[in-house]
Structure 1
Amino acid sequence: MFGSSRRRMVGCLALIPTVALAAVACSPAAATAPSPASIDPTAGIVVGDGAVDIQLWSDPSCPHCMSLDAAIGDDLAAFVADGTATWTLHPMTYVSAKRGDTTDYSTRAAALLLGAAAASEDDALLPLYALIQRNQVTADHSPSDEELLGFATTAGAASDLSTAITDYTGLATAANDAW
């Protein structure tokens, strides 16, 4: 997205510590959402249509990403809701393996987010992302697929996402590998 001739970066670029790979870029052009049938793994998940373009590279298993969402998530959601900002999430999936998580939470959660985007569950995406970040794998527990689907319901998703985790695993991996 940064190399697009349609975009001109005019503002800030902030990197969260190495593991987080979260970046924020401000742009005067609003991003457009990919069509559900042809999601480009490099395009990310686009929510909103505000003039400020916020790009976030985030892994569902990244503790720094969880801290970032805890600090700015409510403000980010408000900026998207009031039309100030467009939020583009680039789901990453590498942290689970680095932390020794054998449940592949990063990939499963990213796949669910991509499936929700493909189902046009725009209003549920930011709350779902927040729930996924708040419920990361711990030494005692890793959310199951059923729990992830419950997060989607709690976030307001009305679509049947029961196959999203398996259907979008390849796309989640491709999105990570693209960066």
Structure 2
Amino acid sequence: MRGSTTTAVSAASLILGAVVLAVVVAPGTYGSFSSATSVSPATVTIGTPSLAITAGTPVTPAGVYPGGPADLIAVRTVTNGGAVGLRLGAAVALAGPSSSNLGGNVVVSFATQTSATCAATPPASGLWTWSLAGGLTSPTTAPTLASGASATLCVWQSLPATAPNGTFAASASPTLTLTGSQTSP
């Protein structure tokens, strides 16, 4: 009897080992994917911007008074010499403006136009204005310069009717900075 139990255990061990070996060694389902493509070389060209500002027609400012009309103070030519269109932007700075001096009350208005001469007063649209109280207001649609195009930049000054007496016979030197950012093609 002893021999048949050992034989049965040995046979069972042998079958179990064969099953384990079959599971481990038997081929299963494997997947492997690979993909490649070639693209021919391409050239990406980025245009170069170039914004130049040059002196225009000389202007002799007449001066302003509280509530009076705007006065033309500068005419410049703005040229885009670059290979891309430019959307113009602007900033105005003024040293030491306060509510009691001319710098704090002067209104600087400027616009670009296609005519070589500037009107005596600012246009109704397409205008930037700057004042201490209002900061810089920009036109609804920023002016753009196509590659190689030029425009005339006109700058006016004025004083609101509420300007204090401290503005009489005073002067201020605003600094106008124009910038150009690349427009979408």
Q: Of Structure 1 and Structure 2, which has the larger fraction of its residues in helix? A: 1
* Higher RCO structure (Cα 8 Å, ≥6 apart): 2
Q: Which has the larger radius of gyration?
A: 2
Taking structure 2 as the reference length, what is the TM-score of the superposition? Answer: 0.25
Taking structure 1 as the reference length, what is the TM-score of the superposition? Answer: 0.26
Q: Of Structure 1 and Structure 2, which has the larger fraction of its residues in strand? A: 2
